[in-house]
Chains A and B, each alone.
Chain A
Amino acid sequence: MAEQAGNGEDDAVAEIEKKIIEAFEVFDHECNQTVDVREIGSIVRSLGCFPTEAELHELLAMVEEEEPTGYIHLEKFLPVMTKVLLDRSYRPIPEDVLLHAFEALDENKCGYITKEKLVKYLTEEGEPFTQEEMEDMLSTALDPETNTVRYRDYISVMTVDET
């Protein structure tokens, strides 16, 4: 069944909605158009957005029920998320910007950050990592011989996977 040729804009919106529904359904375990509120972050991010934790909380406030049940309904999520994608909110972080961020933490500009320093920054500053998140990042980023993170190498390894 071929789709009718319609307004290009409508098509774009329809396509975005289909994408959102797909991503949502991946986390919809009970097949009843709801997901656990704790999975919303994963859904939003896997749709190509890079929100901060604060921005995520704002979004949640818009999609939660008046009496938060711990579950988010697709009905509420779909329009909000569609707008996010149409507005291109929470833009991706280009590689060079990421590099600058690491360099900002590398005071002496030696090309690496010690484990202690990185842990301190990421678990105490910004929107702090949990211990689990920190350990997971280190498992890939840390060079065990020098106990440092050579961030240029790390970034290139990580961005290979990205599509």
Chain B
Amino acid sequence: MGSGSSVNVNYKYSLQKSENAFKAAVLIQRWYRRHVARLEMRRRCTWRIFQSIEYACEQDQIKLHNFFSYLVDHFTPSSSKERDFISRMFISGESFKEAELEKYCDYESMEVPDSYTGPRLSFPLLPDQATALLEAFKQKQQLHPRYVLNLLHETRKHLKQLPNISHVSTCYSEEVTVCGDLHGQLDDLFLIFYKNGLPSPSKSYVFNGDFVDRGKQSLEILIILFTFLLIYPNEVHLNRGNHEDHMVNLRYGFTKEVMQKYKVHGKKILKMIQNVFCWLPLATLIDQKVLIIHGGISDTTDLDVLEKIQRNKFISVLRGKKRKDSNRNVEIQEINRESKTEADPAEKEAAPSLFPQPRPAPAPSMSNRQEFSRWVRQTVQEQIEWCRRLVDISESEEEELTYSSVVSLTDLDGPCRTREEDWKQVLDILWSDPMPQEGCRANTVRGGGCYFGPDVTQKILEKHNLQFLIRSHECKQEGYEFCHSRKVLTIFSASNYYEIGSNRGAYVKLGPDLVPHFVQYQANKTAHTLTMTQRISRVEESAFRALREKLFAHTSALISAFKAYDKDNTGRITLSNWATAVESVLRLGLPWRMLRPQLVRSTVDGMLEYKSWLDDLAMEQRSQEHIQSSLLEVIYRNRSNLETIFRIIDRDHSGLISFEEFHQTWKLFSSHMNIELTDDGINDLVRSIDFNKDGNIDFNEFLEAFRLVKQSQ
């Protein structure tokens, strides 16, 4: 070949090569971008799973009340023991007057031994004591109960002086830092202080509620926040969240944490905390322009009304369900009863309340069972009605007399507000969530508060001349999120909330220009060393584990749903029908077709053999093989409610209930849930934990046995 053609060949060859390189690059890029998109989809699906499970749990509250209603309607106690047992579920704990509280939660007589090496607090508190506390908690030390109680007393004294709405102003050089939910995650608080500095005369903080529950160091967070509150009262501001409520704490872990850490004095500490929570301010205003509340607002929220209510009257904001067709959730809960309990009829005190608690008529003889039953039903019913009447809307229009009697006595000028209206103002502030659509409707997922739209936001901003709202209450992947055209900011400070790597936490700083500046973080070191793929996989694993447990808990319902698609009894259904069936049972609103590859590992001719799929799910709950699987299902499905019921029964928070009470609870529950549960079945349950302390059962251990162990623990 001549030189000309060899140049051509070279030219062609290099052209070919660069074409190949181009093609190869396109291919790799194409493949890679697909991989990233798939990862993004998995990430979002994982998030959806966690959120829908979390909110489904909140619906448990509704189910719990159904259980109580059922008891009232169907159960006839056959002994005075049973009667006591039932009525205990409805009349929770005694409430104290001021002097009684001081006496009951007295700490001055408590001696602190020389052997105690933890921080010793003296009042008034000084900054170096705060740093000593921080250091002590870093070393995993525990504060002596005397100081805990002392601190709580002082905190309560201080909070009582504060108005319902705190006012903060940014002087020319000052910034305000706003933090959202912490949920007992002390590492996040440490991280915030590390990055942002401790509270000081030149560093203001607003903590927007939900300090406790879920995380394991709720008490330490409270102690630290209260300490700083007392040292820098002008710079530190706390808002109440929906978790600053002992009824919620029963379910979500704070009660348990306190009792585990303070076995002897825990009950006192919890009592004091109850009476501190109710005095927490409800909102904070920055420069009269930025409103900070924990949950949100509703179309009836009015700051002028909010300022006037007696916030301490609402020890718990949770209520039970109305019989009528209403979306409000109401729980039978007495609020700040002024009179003593019926246990002490001899020491009747003059009850300043408008509704003296009804004294039961003398019981008829037990020999006449029918009459006795009726009496019991009546007594319990009366108690419930009395509780209801204290705070509830009357069931019918005719009870106007009762209704108007609940007028707030302190509001002498201005329109008379009902207790009910005040309660709604508080409930909405603590429980509401924003929604993209316009309007305002009841928050049926949470069972309290509203979903509020951008129009509701706009109205309240105009009404009170505000610039925007800051709220928390909802976990956000990046730690914060705007909505309603940047008029509502959600700030969430508990990183890795669902699982390590699930989300960042954030706090927001506002200067005099009120322009928000965000700082994000993630408290777990290992989260940083993982690649994005690894992080997503890990969180995903956790989400799917939880989802599989949920599926297992609905095994019976799923089988029925699947069978409806398998009329010929082949044992198989299409994957499409699988997705539809699962959603109809679980109602989590999840994209099941997207999730299917992770949930269904094997198919036969594109069909699912559903029985063996469900068996595989059951296999994962290996630890409790000896328990009948339908019962296991019930436990898993209702674990949260069972726990709450046990805690309500366990008045002195010892963590123990008698075998009889355990037995009783199960019998009632199983009849309500329509399951066969023999005495043998109950004994099996008891044996599953394999202990019996003096005829008492440690229900914490019982419940632990039915909890999947989290890897991170």
Contact (A1, B564) CB under 8 Å given A50-B31, A140-B533: yes
Find chain B residues with CB under 8 A from A127 CB.
25-26, 29-30
B343 to chain A, nearest CB (A): 52
**In the complex, which residues of chain B have a beta carbon less than 8 angstroms from the beta carbon of A68?**
none
- Asked whether A32 and B436 contact (CB < 8 A) given A23-B594, A45-B38, A50-B34, the answer is yes
Is A25 interfacial (CB 8 A cutoff)?
Answer: yes
Indicate if B577 sits at the interface (CB-CB under 8 A): yes
B25 touches A126 (CB 8 A): yes
Question: Measured between alpha carbons, how far is A22 from B37 in the docked complex, in Å?
Answer: 15
A137 touches B30 (CB 8 A): no
B532:A136 contact, CB within 8 angstroms: yes
With both beta carbons as reference points, the residue of chain B lying nearest to A20 in the complex is identified as B593
CB of A26 within 8 A of CB of B35, answer no
Question: Is the beta-carbon distance between B591 and A122 smaller than 8 angstroms?
Answer: no
- Contact between A104 and B30, CB atoms less than 8 A apart: no
Confirm or deny: B41 has a beta carbon within 8 angstroms of a beta carbon on chain A.
Answer: yes
B172 within 8 A of A: no
Q: Which residues of A contact B44 (CB under 8 A)?
A: 26-27
Judge whether A36 is part of the interface by a CB distance below 8 angstroms.
no
When distances are taken between beta carbons in the complex, the residues of chain B under 8 Å from A52 are 26, 29-30
The answer to whether B71 has its CB under 8 Å from any CB of chain A is no
Considering the chains assembled together, what is the distance between the CA atoms of A49 and B35 in angstroms?
10
**Residues of B contacting A163 in the complex (Cβ-Cβ under 8 angstroms):** 597-598
- Across the interface, name the chain B residue whose C-beta is closest to A54: B26
Contact with B along A41-52 (1 / 0, CB 8 A): 111111001111
Indicate the member of A26, A97, A102, A139 with the most B CB atoms within 10 Å.
Answer: A26
- Docked Cα-Cα span, A2 to B564, in Å, equals 6
Report whether A104 and B38 are in contact in the complex, using a CB–CB cutoff of 8 Å: no
Residues of B contacting A44 in the complex (Cβ-Cβ under 8 angstroms): 37
Say yes or no for B693: interface residue by CB 8 A criterion.
no
Q: Number of A residues whose C-beta is below 8 Å from B?
A: 53
Complex interface: chain B residues within 8 A of A116 (CB): none
Interface residues of A in 121-163 (CB under 8 A from B): 121-122, 125-129, 133, 136-137, 139-140, 158, 161-163
Least Cβ–Cβ distance between B686 and chain A, in angstroms: 42
A101 touching B24 in the complex, CB below 8 Å, given contacts A22-B591, A23-B591, A163-B597? yes
Residues of A within 8 A of B537 (CB): 161
B70 lies within 8 A of chain A by Cβ: no
B579 beta carbon closer than 8 Å to chain A: yes
Chain B residues with CB under 8 Å of A67's CB are none
Please indicate the chain A residues that have their CB under 8 angstroms from the CB of B29 in the complex.
52-53, 122, 126-129
- Residues in A with CB closer than 8 Å to B378 are none
In whole Å, how far is A21's beta carbon from the nearest beta carbon of chain B? 9
Q: Is B403 an interface residue (CB 8 A)?
A: no
Which residues of B from 638 to 686 have beta carbons under 8 Å from A? none
With CB as the reference atom, state the residue of chain A lying closest to B533: A140
CA distance A162 to B36 in the complex (A): 11
Question: In this assembly, does A105 line the interface, its C-beta being within 8 Å of a C-beta of chain B?
Answer: yes
Docked Cα-Cα span, A114 to B27, in Å, equals 19
B592 near A22 with CB under 8 A, answer yes
Query: Can you list, as one digit per residue, whether each of A1-32 has a CB less than 8 Å from chain B (1) or not (0)?
Result: 11100000001001100110011011101111
Cα A140 to Cα B35 in complex, Å, equals 13
Q: How far is the CA of A45 from the CA of B39 in the complex (A)?
A: 10
A19 vs B592: C-alpha distance in the bound complex, in angstroms?
A: 9
- Minimum CB–CB distance from B18 to chain A (whole Å) comes to 8
Cα(A97)–Cα(B24), bound, Å:
9
Q: Are B594 and A22 in contact (CB under 8 A)?
A: yes
B32 touches A133 (CB 8 A): yes
CB distance from A126 to the nearest CB of B (A): 3
Let me know if A98 is at the binding interface, CB within 8 A. Answer: yes
Q: Whole-angstrom distance between the alpha carbons of A87 and B591 in the complex?
A: 24
User: Are A101 and B591 neighbours in the complex by a CB distance under 8 Å?
Assistant: no
A26 near B594 (CB under 8 angstroms)? yes
Residues from chain B with Cβ under 8 Å of A100 in the complex: 24
Distance (whole angstroms) from the CB of B642 to the closest CB of chain A: 32
Across the interface, do A42 and B576 meet the contact criterion of CB distance under 8 Å?
A: no
Q: Are the C-beta atoms of B30 and A46 separated by less than 8 Å?
A: no
Q: Which residues of chain B have C-beta atoms less than 8 A from A30's C-beta? A: 436
A149 to B628, CA, bound (A): 54
Question: Which chain B residue lies CB-closest to A18?
Answer: B593
B565 interface contact, C-beta 8 A? yes
In the bound assembly, the distance between CA atoms of A88 and B239 in angstroms comes to: 55
A121 touches B533 (CB 8 A): no
Q: Of residues 51 to 110 in A, which have CB atoms within 8 Å of B's CB atoms? A: 51-53, 92-93, 97-98, 100-102, 104-105
Report yes or no: A125 in contact with B21, Cβ–Cβ below 8 A. yes
> Is B33 touching A18 in the complex (CB atoms < 8 A)?
no
Contacts A126-B25, A163-B598 given: A46-B576 contact, CB under 8 Å? Answer: no
Specify which chain A residues have a CB less than 8 angstroms from the CB of B436 in the assembled complex.
Answer: 29-32
Q: Given A42-B40, A140-B531, do A93 and B31 touch, yes or no (CB 8 Å)?
A: yes
A107 to B712, alpha carbons, bound, how many Å? Answer: 46
Asked if B28 CB lies within 8 Å of chain A CBs, one says yes
- Evaluate contact between A11 and B437: CB separation under 8 angstroms: no
Contacts of B24 in A (CB 8 A): 100-102, 104-105, 121, 126
Most B CB atoms within 10 A — which of A41, A128, A161?
A161
**Which of B23, B437, B531, B565 meets A139, CB within 8 Å?**
B531
The 8 Å CB contact of B591, one of A15, A25, A133, A158, is A25
Say whether A98 contacts B34, CB under 8 Å: no
Contact B33 A45 (CB under 8 A): yes
A139 to B533, CA, bound (A): 10
* Contact status B531-A98, CB under 8 Å: no
Residues on A with C-beta less than 8 A from B532 are: 136, 139
Q: Assess the B27–A45 pair: CB atoms within 8 A.
A: no
Write the B1-38 contact mask toward A (1 if CB under 8 angstroms, else 0).
00000000000000000001111111111111111111
- B577 / chain A contacts, CB cutoff of 8 Å: 2-3
Question: Does B45 make an interface contact (CB < 8 A)?
Answer: yes
Tell me which of B24, B35, B44, B45 has the highest count of chain A C-beta atoms within 10 A of its own C-beta.
B24
Look across to chain A and name the residue whose beta carbon is closest to the beta carbon of B437.
A31
Whether a CB of chain A sits under 8 angstroms from the CB of B48 is yes
In the complex, what residue of chain A is closest to B563 when comparing beta carbons? A2
Q: Mask for B590-629, Cβ within 8 A of A = 1, else 0?
A: 0111100110000000000000000000000000000000
B25 and A105: CB pair below 8 A?
yes
- A-B contacts besides A49-B34, A162-B38, 17 pairs, CB < 8 Å: A2-B565, A2-B577, A22-B591, A31-B436, A31-B437, A32-B436, A53-B29, A101-B24, A101-B28, A101-B31, A104-B21, A122-B28, A125-B21, A129-B32, A133-B33, A137-B32, A139-B532
CB pairs A–B below 8 angstroms (24 shown): A3-B577, A18-B579, A22-B592, A25-B591, A26-B44, A26-B591, A26-B594, A32-B436, A32-B437, A42-B37, A44-B37, A46-B41, A49-B34, A50-B31, A50-B34, A93-B27, A104-B21, A104-B24, A125-B26, A126-B28, A133-B32, A136-B532, A161-B533, A163-B598
Q: Chain A residues in contact with chain B, CB under 8 A?
A: 1-3, 11, 14-15, 18-19, 22-23, 25-27, 29-32, 41-46, 49-53, 92-93, 97-98, 100-102, 104-105, 121-122, 125-129, 133, 136-137, 139-140, 158, 161-163
A-B pairs, top 4 by smallest CB distance, nearest first, are A126-B25, A45-B37, A46-B41, A126-B26
